[in-house]
Amino acid sequence: MVADSDFAKTTLTAEGCPACGAGIGAGADVTTTVSGRGYELWFVGAQRETIVNGKLAAALDLRTLADRPHLYGLGPLAQLRGEMTIADSRPALARVGRDGMVKVAQSFDAGVPFFIWTEVPHWIEVPIPAEIRSFGDLEHYVPRAAAAGGLDPEKPLPFLVNGRQDMIEFHILNRIGDAPHDMEMHEKIKVCFELAQADATIVGFHSTRHRGVFTPGDSNIHIHFQTGDNMQSGHIQKLEIGSGATLCLPAV
């Protein structure tokens, strides 16, 4: 169990964002800060508030993060009209185009209703064992590898997976119109895609205590990805990890 003193809460202040679908007033949301060995981590908003209670407006203007070094983050776009992934300060705004295909813009010009981000200046690479191949395998492996590397697996933890993935099944949220949002509607707005033999950086966050906040209600990890050319990106829902892939953890 993590003591309350491990978490510091600070009030988020940001300017209104024309691209966010709503202005963001000073003190509109609270950002929680976590200090770990080798990293700082922040999160704002909560997935359950967005999916269940329809809190779709921006809680954070991503432009406020644009100059942060060694930045990694993920979350949906405001009004659930896309996904955001940041890998080493490179943004990927993924949306579904009119042709039904993935469209990625390398831009911070958007807002997010909930988001988690971290700054990690140095990573260590750990070979992923041959038996770790699925999304579920990865979920169970990350805290074991973290503990072995001197990290506290009970704290919110950033991680990466680098290498060629045999299969990535992912979705991009594509809410159209302004109808009330709930769990049933949330499933309907997921547009799913699949990549095979994709060279990608997977950006992930693990926590045993934040289901429905920044990880899904049924998982301890939340993972997005970027391909090397930044032409494909989104929220991973199924994964087949390729041989030779590595897990990256903050260097202690």
Q: What pLDDT digit, counting tens, does each position of 104-144 carry?
A: 999 999 999 999 999 999 999 999 999 999 999 999 999 99
Task: Report, at the CATH architecture level, how domain 4-119 is classified.
Answer: 2-Layer Sandwich (3.30)
Domains 4-119 and 123-250 share a fold: yes
Average of pLDDT values for 189-213? 97
Instruction: Tell me, rounded to whole angstroms, the distance of Cα 248 from its chain centroid.
Output: 15
CATH number of the domain at 123-250, please? Answer: 3.30.1330.80
Instruction: Look up the pTM and report it.
Output: 0.90
Confidence band for 78, pLDDT divided at 50, 70 and 90 = very high
For strands 7-11 and 30-36, give the pairing.
antiparallel
Q: Residue ranges of the domains in the chain?
A: 4-119, 123-250
3-class secondary-structure state, position 62 = helix
